[in-house]
Amino acid sequence: MIEHIDMSLVDWSRAQFALTAIYHWIFVPLTLGLSFIVAMMETIYVRTGNEEWKRLTRFWMTLFGINFAIGVATGIILEFEFGTNWSNYSWFVGDIFGAPLAIEGILAFFLESTFVAVMFFGWNKVSKKFHLASTWLVAIGANLSALWILVANAWMQNPVGMMFNPDTARNEMINFWAVLFNPVAIDKFLHTISSGFLLASVFVMGISSWFLLKKREEWMAQRSILITAIFGLLSSLMVAFTGDSSARTIAKVQPVKFAALEAHYNGKQNAGLVAFGILKDSDKKIGDKKVKDFAFKIEIPGFLSVLTEGDKNAFVPGINDLVMGGVAEYKGLTVADKMQRGTDAKDVLNDYKRAKLVNNKEQLEFIKEYFRSKNFIEENLKYFGYAFLDLPEDAIPNVSVSFYSFHIMVILGFFFILVCTLSLILVLRGTLLKNRWFLRIVLISIPLVYIASESGWILAEMGRQPWIIQDLMPVTVAVSQISTGSVMTTFILFAILFTALLIAEVSIMIKQIKTGPKL
């Protein structure tokens, strides 16, 4: 761990990782969903023998391929940044964090990369059934890749299944299954892949609507909308269900994030859920941080209490309670309490280092056993990261970013349920072509679904600040000791590169869409 912190280095390292992650996430969800849509369409082709379905499948498969190639490039850069910019983090948890990423590379990525060649180049060279199996394996492989990456990310949100080794000052995995079946990992995986399915469905419906507006490829467009309206509706309902489950889990394992996404400062019973609101700065402060108040809000009474505990009379702690305490209803530890416990854990580690220097074997063995004791782990070691915070209010994330990203995601999520439902009704009634206003709405929904998707990840990552590993390591001590100038330079280079890749992808896709399906 480092004592001197160069905040400009931390900020630029965070900015570079955020840039890479945001660009990467433009490509990933479309890959997750479109792979299954293509597989479903090819299944219909194999079962019916209708060459129009083959033509339809190959069209969407081409768009999938363009997106897949660029997504892989940004993903590789993202993983390298853990070693280059976040080496202290990689050292501290490499034994745990590296395992799911290694499985992703060995199992899932090899699976999809092996069969993607057959999927694209195997038409008329292998049997229909083998080609269909390859397409399904690519879809399964892509989503298995997401599983292992999300398991790694979920561990950062809720670290479980590990033991701290004082000899190496590292966390080491002791229970793989606890890491895999981490409640946050289950919620995150189901919520993320279902949101990817929804995004791909809206993407296909939007492009199909463009064809209908242009009075082109009406057979293809209507059948594409039929399939993706069903797939998208089921996915959107799954997104809502898993989002609710995820919120309950966050309330337990990341209570400050949960309070921040609702701008909930003062805990109370029968707490209302803000359906829509506009924030403003208040005259009040928590330490040196301004409290956010509402200029305007629409609230559902009691629903926040129901969401967290299933009881409208349940007490939901706010940011002020969690950070500073002072209310009788809140029985948990404050951030100040956790800072003291974390400092105690850090002092014990320093005692171990001193005993090691003088080779005091008796004290070394005593402290090592102390590190393994359940009481020390639960009461001190789990709050180790708080020792590196300067002030209790440092544990508060950016409330405005958390609040708006959460509510944008939720509002758009309900909008897409409506879009998918109306699309299905209109296409089944055969009146879709008559409702050109609705086709325009579906087309406009393409950028909106990307905004919703990115908002979800912004909430996930910004909402847990200041932590890179919840309660164990703040971002300020996770960075590599490299020059700020080198990070700034690579940030600019990556910004140019990723923007060029995005422009190239959009240009190629637009050209392919305008060309339309080929025989």
User: For the whole model, what pTM was predicted?
Assistant: 0.90
In angstroms, rounded to a whole number, what is the distance separating the alpha carbons of residues 451 and 409?
Answer: 8
In angstroms, rounded to a whole number, what is the distance separating the alpha carbons of residues 347 and 366?
Answer: 15
Q: Tens digits of per-residue pLDDT, 282-335?
A: 888 887 788 888 888 888 888 888 878 777 888 888 888 888 876 767 778 888
Per-residue tokens: 18: 């955020």
- Among 59-63, 87-91, 147-151, 440-444, whose mean pLDDT is lowest? 87-91
Beta carbons of 409 and 459 less than 8 angstroms apart: yes
Residue 441 pLDDT grade (very low, low, confident, very high; cuts 50, 70, 90): very high
Residue 4 pLDDT grade (very low, low, confident, very high; cuts 50, 70, 90): low
In the predicted model, is pLDDT for residue 412 greater than 70?
Answer: yes
Q: Tens digits of per-residue pLDDT, 181-225?
A: 999 999 999 999 999 999 999 999 999 999 999 988 889 989 999
Q: What is the pLDDT of residue 2?
A: 47
146 φ, ψ to 5°? Answer: -60, -40
Alpha carbon separation from 326 to 115, 214, 397 (Å, rounded): 59, 63, 20
Q: What is the pLDDT of residue 1?
A: 46
In the predicted model, is pLDDT for residue 3 greater than 60?
Answer: no
Q: What is the pLDDT of residue 519?
A: 62
Cis peptide before 466 (omega within 30 of 0): yes
Q: What is the mean pLDDT of the chain?
A: 87
CA 399 to centroid of chain Cα atoms: 18
Contacts 24+ apart (CB under 8 A), 509-516: 509/63, 509/66, 509/67, 512/62, 512/63, 512/66, 513/63, 513/207, 513/210, 516/59, 516/211, 516/216, 516/217
In angstroms, rounded to a whole number, what is the distance separating the alpha carbons of residues 479 and 464?
Answer: 17
Question: What average pLDDT does this structure show over 14-34?
Answer: 89
In angstroms, rounded to a whole number, what is the distance separating the alpha carbons of residues 328 and 309?
Answer: 18
In angstroms, rounded to a whole number, what is the distance separating the alpha carbons of residues 16 and 491?
Answer: 5
DSSP 425-460: HHHHHT-GGG-HHHHHHHHHHHHHHHHHHHHHHHHH
In angstroms, rounded to a whole number, what is the distance separating the alpha carbons of residues 382 and 388?
Answer: 13
Residue 271 pLDDT grade (very low, low, confident, very high; cuts 50, 70, 90): confident
Percent of the chain with pLDDT over 90: 35
In angstroms, rounded to a whole number, what is the distance separating the alpha carbons of residues 225 and 201?
Answer: 8
Q: Tens digits of per-residue pLDDT, 376-391?
A: 888 888 889 999 998 9
Q: Bigger pLDDT: 318 or 72?
A: 318
